[in-house]
Amino acid sequence: MSKDFKNVEVIIFDRKYLLRTTDDDSYLINLAEELNQRIKSSESMENKHSDIQIMSLVALQILDEKNKIEKEYNQLKNLAKMMELGSNKV
């Protein structure tokens, strides 16, 4: 059973985007709001960088955070496996 797509309008960096999604509207709206907050926190860069440079820098920050979280998650998962194996030996 496939979900129906719907259009959700969000505003990112003072530009409107119409996105198609199967997710709840509020999910995309919240993502756009979080992105806008990150952009706003980078306002000090606005005078020095173009819009595309600011968006690229914010995207790199988000990817860096994601990669670090994935690395930590994998380390914790491996640790849990090792602890489980260790408790099976007792």
Question: Can you give the pLDDT of all 90 residues of the chain as single tens digits?
Answer: 568 999 999 999 999 999 999 999 999 999 999 999 999 888 676 677 888 898 999 999 999 999 999 999 999 999 999 998 887 765
Q: What is the DSSP code (8-state) at residue 48? A: T
- List 20's β-bridge partners, or say none: 7
CA pair distance 25, 13, nearest whole angstrom: 19
Q: Count other C-beta atoms under 10 Å from residue 39's C-beta.
A: 19
Phi then psi dihedrals of residue 12, to 5 deg = -130, 120
Q: What is the DSSP code (8-state) at residue 22? A: S
pLDDT at 41: 87
Answer whether 0.85 is exceeded by the pTM.
Answer: no
pLDDT at 12: 95
Phi then psi dihedrals of residue 10, to 5 deg = -130, 160
pLDDT at 31: 97
